[in-house]
Structures are given as structure tokens and as C-alpha cells.
């Protein structure tokens, strides 16, 4: 098994040249985020990931978590690693310095998050959920709630969760039944939530649950859902957070992967710790606006899940490349009677490795561009620039989340395939990445939901205005690719943009006759976006690499070669998705469900 090596050089290249760090450092409050500082941050993050988190990744997978006497215990070494993590200030990287954060751009936080996910996805989920809780409270909490909860959450003494799902209501949150009854200055929360990542653990002093629930007079459906803070511990008469709230960890889920991450079933108001009428909670924002409040933080959460997908794929790719260089099997195709060679010399193994590499290096800058767009949306002084970056966030968020996780899953499967039969054996480590990765296309809204969001809210709602604006931006950037040797890449991407525009027009026409048709081809529409966007980033990377290549650094020729492979092997899929969308929509819409009867 190989050790994780942080791809600092490639991340830094993407941050500086593709995500345009200088435009982010020009924003108010981000002037100190220079390329030298980012380099130093990535170096330090890499040390923590390589020395502490990566060695614990397999420990977490093998030991898992346990529930004993109502308390979840994490694997050996995790508490010490967590204290090192928060002691170095990593938990508050992008948050308000006045509350203990570092105040760095989301672009920088995005770059660092990939490193955590690569080295130990199960561990990093704790910090990811805390990030979401901080966002929700910062955006919608009262001053009292912010003053009470944010300093400890930002530092990491406390962690946060998101409590949405119930056993009868997965993605259909309109069916949420958890209740919240007013009682003086607080509410009594009662109900049960499932699939709560880090719903209980022993890493922090307190756990702050963000819970969706209904008030007694709430209207039905999503319009009647409110958001509440429900801490695991409440303050006593001396202000010490030592009184147990009535939040019971009923059980832990037994999962395919991420065994080191506790996924809990939580009961609110079971009576185990307090009055059985309910756990004490506090309203966040306005009544019946819980879904709206939760979704304001959802874009950041979806970017984070996308980074999980690409991060684990990076780690699996590294393992596959190391194995291919070590594994001796077969002879060269040009010398069948010659000496046995390492499998990295076989053309099909080169194909599998390069397929992973080009996807990872195309998606990485796409996520960073999205991180930079969040910064500009929030801090740029020009309203028109903020409006444009809102369009970028709207379009790129579902693309990044779905493509990073879907292609990431394909990548870890290919990485396992490079190992041959050894990949199916746990000792090589390849299987863990596949098992861990499998949840990412499901997290934070399944990829089918992402596709419906891209085609419904981001295309049909405004008749394609937002999408066309992003297409035009990509076209302008592609027209600046100036090296003659890359004209084919530029032209292929421009043709991909034309296909996108043609498909958008076709989908708008479909929607006019039968809304089932665009819903049926939402997935290939999203994949078309992903294919073109990766080409956009890889062509730009190759163009910049040719500018910087002085013939002495193998990094730049590698960027160019990776882009060439993508345009030969992956970019032609744009035409494939075009055909699928145009020729299958009606058939899917009119498909009789009887065809799925098991016995006919």
C-alpha cells in the first residue's frame, strides 16, 4: 500500500492560474492571501494529511466506531488527531477572525479541503458538517445564537450536524414529522432522525445539531418546516455546558464504507435524559423558513461533497499508479518472449491511469473556480460582478457535486481494476477507496437531484438565461487560448459549447410539450456540462503550461499531455450525450412501468 502524497504543485497551479487567485486577493479582507501564503498553507496541510490523517485512514476502516453506554467511541488515534487539527486553526480557515477564524478566502479553504478528503474522508466529514452548521448560524441566527455557538464551532471545541432525514422521508423533506412546541424562550423538539453523520462521537465537548422540525400551526409541505439548534449539552446554573439535553443516540448504522465516521439514529424527546416532552431547541431564523435557511448553505455543502469525490479519487489514483510501477506481470506486447515487465508498461494500464488523471485534473480547477466564485459573490464591491458570480455558482454547483462524485466513483473503480484480482483483496487498500467513495453520489442530494436542479431551476425557470451567461463566459475564455498547437482543443470545446446551446433550446422545446421529457434526460444533460467544463479547464491549463514551459520542468509537459488525452478520449462524449438527449427523452417519458415487473 502506498502513502498519500499531497499534489501541492498541481493544486497551487490551479489556484493561481485557473481559479485566478489574484482576482480573489483583490477582494476586501483577502489582500493577505498571496500565492506565497497559499503555498505555505498547502505545505502545512500536506504535512498534517500525510503524517497524521493518512495513517489513521485504514485504522478507521478496520476498527470502525462503537456505541457503548449511550456514547459513541471513535477509532484509536482520532481524538489526538482531532486536537492537533483544531489546535493548528484548520477548522476556522474561512471564517470570521472576530470569532476565532482565519478569514481566508473560500478558494483557499476549497484547496485545503481536498487534501483532508484525500487523506482521510471519514475523519474530514466531522469538519465538513461543522462548516455547514457555522454557515447556517452565521447567515440566519440571531446575535445571541451567533455569540453563543459560533466561537466554539469555529475553533472546533464543538462540532455541528445537519438533521434532515427521517425514516419515512429521505429526499422528500415535505414529509418531515419532527415537532417543535414553543415553551417560553425555547422549543421542545420531539421526533427521530436517521443518517446523521457524526450525530454522536467523542471528539468534541459538545455537538450542535441543526434540526428541521414543524411548529404546531405550520402549513403542510416544505413551507411548514423550521430550523432549530439543539445542542447535546446545555448550560448549568454556572454557565458550564454540562447538562445533558434529551438527545439520545439510538443506534449506529452499519455501512458499506467510511467506517470511521459514525452515522447515527437520533431520538429527540425520548425521555432518557430529560422531560420526555422534548429536547430543548432554539429557532434559527424565521418560523417556517427552515428549508430556505438550510438551502442557503447547501451550495457550500455540495461543493464540499464534490471535493470528497475528487479527493478520494486522487488517493485511489496514487495507489493505482504506485501498484502499477511495482507489480511485475506479463511481457511487453512488442517482445512477447522477453523479460517480464511492470504492468505500468502495458498500454491498457496506461489508458486506465491516464483516464483517472485527466478527470481529476479537469475537475480539480473546476471546484476551485467555484470556490473563488463564492468569494466574489459575497465580497466583490461591484453588483454586476456579484450577479455574474451568482450565475456561476448556480450552474457550477450541481455540475461540480455530481461530476466530481460520479466520475470519482468511476475512477476508484478503475483504480481497483488496475490492481487486477489484488484490488478485490482488502490488504492492498484499493477496496476501501471504492467503499468510501460510494456514498458521495448520494450525499447532499443524490446526483439525480443535482441533474433535476440543473435542468429545472437553472434552465427551465429562466428560459436558459443564466446557463447562456456561463456558456458565454467559457467561450470568451476559450477564445483566449492562443497556442496554435492547442487550436484543436479550443475548437473542440467551442463545439461543445455549441452543442450545449443546441441542447438547451431542445430541452426548452421538450418542456413545452411534456415535462417528463427533460426530467428523463436530466442526467446526460448534466454530464454534458461536466464534459465541456473539464475540457474548458484542461485546455486553459495546457495553454498556460506552454507559456511557462522552459524545457527544464516535467510538470508543464505533463499538463499538456494530460489535456491531449482528455480531448482524444473524453471530449468526444459531448456528441454522444447530445445524441442521447435528443433521441431518448420521449421514450423515457412514455416508458410503461410494467416493463420493470420482475416476472412477466
pLDDT higher than 90, residue 174: no
Q: Which of 133, 158, 155 is nearest to 234 (CA)?
A: 158
> CA-CA distances (angstroms) from residue 296 to 140, 281, 293, 378, 462?
9, 21, 5, 12, 20
Q: What integer pLDDT is reported at residue 222 of this predicted model?
A: 87
Mean pLDDT across the chain, nearest whole number?
96
pLDDT tens, residue by residue, 55-108: 999 999 999 999 999 899 999 999 999 999 999 999 999 999 999 999 999 999
| Grid-cell match 443516540, residue found | 249
So what's the pLDDT on residue 275?
Answer: 67
Question: With bands split at pLDDT 50, 70 and 90, how would you rate the model's confidence at 319?
Answer: very high
**What average pLDDT does this structure show over 346-361?**
98
pLDDT tens digits, one per residue of 552-563: 999 999 999 999
* Mean pLDDT, range 313-334, rounded to an integer: 97
User: Is the per-residue pLDDT at 600 higher than 80?
Assistant: no
- What percentage of the chain has pLDDT greater than the value 90? 93
Cell numbers describing residue 505? 433550446
The mean per-residue pLDDT over the stretch 126-138 comes to: 95
Averaged pLDDT, 332-359: 96
Query: CA-CA distance, 524 to 518, in Å (whole number)?
Result: 10
Reported residue count of the chain is 600
Which whole-number Å values give the CA distances from 397 to 20, 45, 120, 142, in the listed order? 18, 25, 23, 28
Over range 509-522, report the average pLDDT: 97
| Contact criterion met (CB below 8 Å) for 177 and 225 | no
Which range among 4-18, 264-278, 346-360 shows the weakest confidence by mean pLDDT? Answer: 264-278
Pick the CATH number of 159-288 from 3.30.70.1400, 3.40.50.300, 1.10.3720.10, 2.40.110.20: 2.40.110.20
Average pLDDT over residues 492-501: 98
The pLDDT of 582-591, averaged and rounded, is 95
**pLDDT tens track for 217-253:** 999 988 999 999 999 999 999 999 999 999 999 999 9
- C-alpha–C-alpha distance, residues 540 and 493, integer Å: 11
User: 99-130: per-residue pLDDT in tens?
Assistant: 999 999 999 999 999 999 999 999 999 999 99
Residue 361 falls in the annotated catalytic set: no
**3-state SS track over 296-349:** HCHHHHHHHHHHHHHHHHHHHHHHHHHHHHHCEEEECCCCCCCCEEEHHHCHHH
Read off the pLDDT of each residue in 483-500 and give the average, rounded to a whole number: 98
Query: Which of these is catalytic: 444, 498, 502, 509?
Result: 444
Mean pLDDT value of segment 459-467: 97
Amino acid at each position: 500500500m502506498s502513502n498519500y502524497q499531497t499534489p501541492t504543485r498541481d493544486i497551487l497551479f490551479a489556484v493561481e492560474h485557473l481559479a485566478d487567485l489574484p482576482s480573489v486577493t483583490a477582494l476586501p479582507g483577502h489582500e493577505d492571501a498571496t500565492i506565497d501564503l497559499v503555498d505555505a498553507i498547502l505545505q502545512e496541510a500536506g504535512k498534517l494529511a500525510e503524517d497524521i490523517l493518512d495513517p489513521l485512514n485504514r485504522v478507521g476502516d478496520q476498527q470502525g466506531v462503537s456505541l457503548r453506554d449511550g456514547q459513541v467511541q471513535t477509532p484509536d488515534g482520532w481524538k489526538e488527531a482531532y486536537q492537533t487539527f483544531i489546535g493548528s486553526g484548520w477548522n476556522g480557515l474561512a471564517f470570521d477572525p472576530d470569532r476565532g477564524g482565519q478569514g481566508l478566502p473560500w478558494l483557499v479553504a476549497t484547496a485545503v479541503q481536498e487534501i483532508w478528503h484525500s487523506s482521510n474522508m471519514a475523519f474530514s466529514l466531522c469538519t465538513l458538517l461543522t462548516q455547514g452548521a457555522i454557515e447556517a448560524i452565521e447567515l440566519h441566527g440571531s446575535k445571541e445564537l451567533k455569540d453563543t455557538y459560533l466561537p466554539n464551532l469555529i475553533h472546533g471545541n464543538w462540532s455541528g450536524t445537519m438533521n434532515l432525514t427521517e425514516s419515512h422521508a429521505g429526499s422528500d423533506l415535505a414529509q418531515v414529522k419532527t415537532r417543535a412546541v414553543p415553551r417560553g424562550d425555547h422549543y421542545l423538539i420531539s421526533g427521530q432522525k436517521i443518517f446523521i453523520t457524526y450525530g454522536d462521537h467523542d471528539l468534541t465537548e459538545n455537538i450542535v445539531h441543526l434540526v428541521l422540525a414543524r411548529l404546531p400551526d405550520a402549513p403542510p409541505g416544505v413551507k411548514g418546516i423550521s430550523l432549530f439548534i439543539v445542542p447535546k449539552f446545555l448550560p448549568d446554573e454556572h454557565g458550564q455546558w454540562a447538562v445533558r439535553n434529551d438527545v439520545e443516540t439510538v443506534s449506529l448504522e452499519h455501512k458499506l464504507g467510511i467506517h470511521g465516521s459514525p452515522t447515527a439514529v437520533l431520538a429527540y424527546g425520548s425521555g432518557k435524559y430529560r422531560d420526555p416532552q422534548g429536547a430543548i431547541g432554539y429557532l434559527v431564523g424565521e418560523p417556517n423558513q427552515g428549508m430556505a435557511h438550510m438551502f442557503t448553505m447547501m451550495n457550500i455543502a455540495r461543493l464540499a461533497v464534490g471535493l470528497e469525490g475528487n479527493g478520494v479519487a486522487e488517493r485511489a489514483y496514487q495507489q493505482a499508479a504506485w501498484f502499477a510501477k511495482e507489480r511485475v506481470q506479463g511481457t511487453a506486447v512488442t517482445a512477447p518472449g522477453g523479460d517480464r515487465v511492470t504492468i505500468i508498461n502495458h498500454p491498457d494500464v496506461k489508458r486506465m491511469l491516464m483516464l483517472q488523471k485527466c478527470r481529476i485534473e479537469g475537475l480539480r480547477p473546476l471546484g476551485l473556480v467555484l470556490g473563488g466564485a463564492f468569494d466574489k459573490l459575497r465580497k466583490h464591491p461591484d453588483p454586476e460582478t456579484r450577479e455574474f458570480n451568482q450565475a456561476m455558482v448556480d450552474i457550477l454547483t450541481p455540475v461540480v457535486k455530481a461530476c466530481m462524485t460520479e466520475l470519482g466513483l468511476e475512477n476508484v473503480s478503475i483504480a481497483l481494476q488496475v490492481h487486477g484480482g489484488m484490488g478485490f483483496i482488502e490488504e492492498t487498500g484499493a477496496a476501501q477507496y471504492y467503499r468510501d467513495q460510494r456514498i458521495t453520489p448520494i450525499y447532499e442530494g443524490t446526483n439525480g437531484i443535482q441533474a433535476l436542479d440543473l435542468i429545472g431551476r437553472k434552465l427551465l425557470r429562466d428560459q436558459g438565461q443564466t446557463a447562456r451567461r456561463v456558456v458565454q463566459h467559457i467561450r470568451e475564455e476559450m477564445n483566449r487560448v492562443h497556442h496554435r498547437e492547442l487550436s484543436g482543443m479550443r475548437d473542440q470545446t467551442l463545439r461543445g459549447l455549441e452543442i450545449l446551446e443546441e441542447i438547451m433550446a431542445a430541452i426548452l422545446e421538450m418542456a413545452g410539450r411534456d415535462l417528463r421529457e427533460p426530467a428523463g434526460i436530466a442526467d446526460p444533460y448534466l454530464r454534458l456540462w461536466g464534459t465541456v467544463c473539464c475540457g474548458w479547464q484542461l485546455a486553459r491549463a495546457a495553454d498556460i503550461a506552454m507559456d511557462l514551459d522552459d524545457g527544464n520542468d516535467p510538470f508543464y509537459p505533463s499538463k499538456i499531455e494530460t489535456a491531449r488525452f482528455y480531448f482524444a478520449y473524453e471530449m468526444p462524449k459531448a456528441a454522444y450525450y447530445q445524441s442521447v438527449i435528443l433521441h431518448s427523452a420521449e421514450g423515457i417519458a412514455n416508458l410503461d412501468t410494467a416493463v420493470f415487473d420482475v416476472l412477466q
